[in-house]
Structure 1
């Protein structure tokens, strides 16, 4: 047995033991699909302890490369929108923009998709093509369409998929617009995070079909949701599990620019401290109130940290600061961001702080609403 076949079987065993891989259909897909072939261009390894985060390339001539491709890790394959591992030597300190998602999340998505034989699937975000190959293995090439915004990434995926014997329909374009020429689809699955489910996905999903996607905000708490579409409206719930994907590029936050003068604005004692948002679920609830708010932390001269929340487009901001055993907030701009966040968290706490798997989501062509049941 080849080394990579042994690694594939070991990966399938680990994913099954972890409860991620449950069905024979997808287990066989994992065993038969060589993940390392989709990473022949190398990947970036995080440099531990570096500030800002540094990345260094791991290429196929590195002994760590092959076993690393079968770790249950997301492997960064592109940084700064264009830079691949083969493009640099040493380290690079830029933001990742494409990756091969960790296998446990890939197979969880496949299991949660509930796709039966003969169903047509639109995948948003081809990436390396590994998840596309698993879909092809389970459903057949003719039933799989995948769209990727980056032409170079799509071309590499097409070549690797072809070498692996798969020839799905691949499109270069903005996945948020979907595939108007190919629908309706039985399933749409997104391998990127979105702020809001795009209206195009609703119209391209057949009545009774489903959308599986990760909803997020700019404070980076995100959750997987499965939606059923009927009469142009989608209803569903959050599935839980603290799922995280890179945001779709059109949904990335704007540059922060100049931080406002934090001595301006109105100050009051805060009801809730900024440290409450260190909790994933609490932060997700806060994002419902302020989905386009970014959070930065500014060290103070006295060792205290200023927690600054900015809605760049609206021009609103809040600076939350601990003073001994209490917190203060100073706010400016047209909206009072921290008031909105505190009010929403107060309603959630009043209802017993329900877990995210009790949250419901409704999407119409005009708006997205997330609520909870107590």
Structure 2
């Protein structure tokens, strides 16, 4: 089995084609980080997960699963795969991200020898171990929110031969004890950049994280911290996301009721929000709103104010929108989409983000261009 694992690690390193992380990929045994079981999605129901156990497979078959360039869910609704008595229903709450995406994140963060790194979201610990293999364990601090996930990860990291600083805490607060950091990298998505990350990063250091909002729009940002304590950077071309930081999840949504409030023609086709970048732009304009779709209807609901909007095609060939509540959600979305379209409908990488102590502003094109504040 050992020879098979080594061969598969080599094949994985060759397949990913990363020069900077090749040696680490060949050193770190991913099988340690998947434990005794993972979850596989049940095709019959989107929220149903079936444990796949190492003991029920041959050694070679298990290793083939381990070294596939695939994300394996390890916890669903707080239940680790090895502890599941059978199929589990719920949302994934921890996973081992596919290795190609792990490497993409590490390369996007521009991590290299000599860097002191803060990782937000230890997860299984595989990416933590890769950084230890390249940078040395003393250069890596990793934070995990879930105590069970953290304990499992620490055991696997230790079995791989590394002893970085592993912290059980809310990663949104960072870890001041080992600051300042050259690189802060987050393996969970956030709505806004937590200010402790900014404070704990040295001047010239960077923050790299996927971002997500309550409409489901995603983007991937790389920021550089300036001498005055602000940070700025652009969103990257990669469309990637990770599980959302638990403190940034959306609140429960009330029942959906459409057709409330005065009607007017919509200037934009509501179906455009099915485009990933358009959804991101709409989210910037109405960051407290959640989005859902009916058969032919786009629905926005802001739980905090009770504001809502729904838009659908009308019989005349256009679109009709109803709005209700103190915020005119569709007005804001409509204006933002038209601004984006007027700039040529660029991908998220056509936007940037500037962070100060009092506001976080996403801008289109250049820092002086049209912009939207992220939620406080």
Shorter-chain TM-score category? Answer: over 0.9
Look up the SS of the partner of 2:224 in the other structure.
Answer: strand
Q: Is the 8 A contact 1:161 1:167 kept in 2?
A: yes
Aligned counterparts of 1:293 and 1:340: Cα–Cα separation in 2: 11
1:120 aligns with 2:116: yes
Alpha-carbon deviations, 1:155-214, whole Å to 9, x = none?
111111111100000111110000122211111000000000011111000111110111
More deviation in 166-175 or 6-15?
Answer: 6-15
Moved more, 266-275 or 245-254: 266-275
Structure 2, unpaired ranges of 5+: 367-376
Whether the 8 Å contact between 1:242 and 1:280 is mirrored in structure 2 is no
Question: In the TM superposition, what is the alpha-carbon distance from 1:326 to its structure 2 partner?
Answer: 2.5
How many residues are aligned here?
Answer: 360
Distance 2:94 2:287 in 1: 23
Mapped pair 1:305 → 2:290: no
Deviation at 1:358, TM superposition (A): 2.2
The reply on whether 1:334 has 2:326 as its aligned counterpart is yes
Q: 1:274, CA displacement in angstroms?
A: 2.4
Q: Tell me the distance in 1 between the aligned counterparts of 2:177 and 2:283.
A: 34
1:58–1:65 contact (8 Å) kept in structure 2: no
Residues 111-158 of structure 1: CA distance to partner in whole angstroms, max 9, x if unpaired? 122223221100000000000000101100000000011111111111
1:59 aligns with 2:56: no
- Within 5 Å, give how 1:205-216 maps onto structure 2: 205-216=201-212
Q: In the TM superposition, what is the alpha-carbon distance from 1:365 to its structure 2 partner? A: 2.0
Structure 1 stretches of 5 or more lacking a match?
299-303
Classify 1:308/1:111 alpha carbon distance in 2 versus 1 (closer, same or farther; 3 Å): same
Matches within 5 A, 1:270-289: 270-289=266-285
Alignment RMSD? 1.6
1:110 to 97, 106, 113: 106
The equivalent residue for 1:323 is 314
| 1:288-311 Cα distance to aligned partner (Å, 9 max, x none) | 11223211223xxxxx43322112
Per-residue CA distance 1:34-84 (angstroms, 9 max, x = gap): 11110014211111242x43211111123354322222222111111x211
Deviates more, 1:266-275 or 1:329-338: 266-275
Match of 2:187 in 1: 191
The one of 17, 38, 51 equivalent to 2:33 is: 38
Alignment of 1:12-27 (within 5 A): 12-16=13-17, 21=18, 23=19, 25-27=20-22
- Looking at structure 1, the residues matched to 194 and 292 of structure 2 have their Cα atoms a distance apart, in angstroms, of 28
Q: Is the 8 A contact 1:221 1:242 kept in 2?
A: no
Measure the CA separation in 1 of the matches of 2:336 and 2:117: 36
Q: How does the TM-score come out when normalised to structure 2?
A: 0.92
Is contact 1:317-1:337 (8 Å) kept? yes
Distance 1:237 1:359 in 2: 6
C-alpha distance in structure 2 between counterparts of 1:358 and 1:257, whole Å: 34
Where 2:205 maps in the other structure, the secondary structure is: strand
Quote the offset at 1:85 in angstroms.
1.2
From 54, 71, 76, the counterpart of 1:74? 71
Match of 2:176, SS state, is: coil
SS in 1 for 2:310: strand
Match of 1:232 in 2: 229
Q: TM-score, normalised by structure 1?
A: 0.92
Distance in 2, Cα, partners of 1:101 & 1:274: 33
Judge conservation of contact 2:264–2:321 (CA < 8 Å) in 1.
yes
| Mapped partners of 1:48, 1:306: distance in 2 | 27
The SS at the match of 1:61 is: helix
Deviations 1:209-265 (A, max 9, x none): 110111111222212111000121110001122111111000011111333x43321
Instruction: Work out the CA distance in 2 between the residues paired with 1:293 and 1:69.
Output: 39
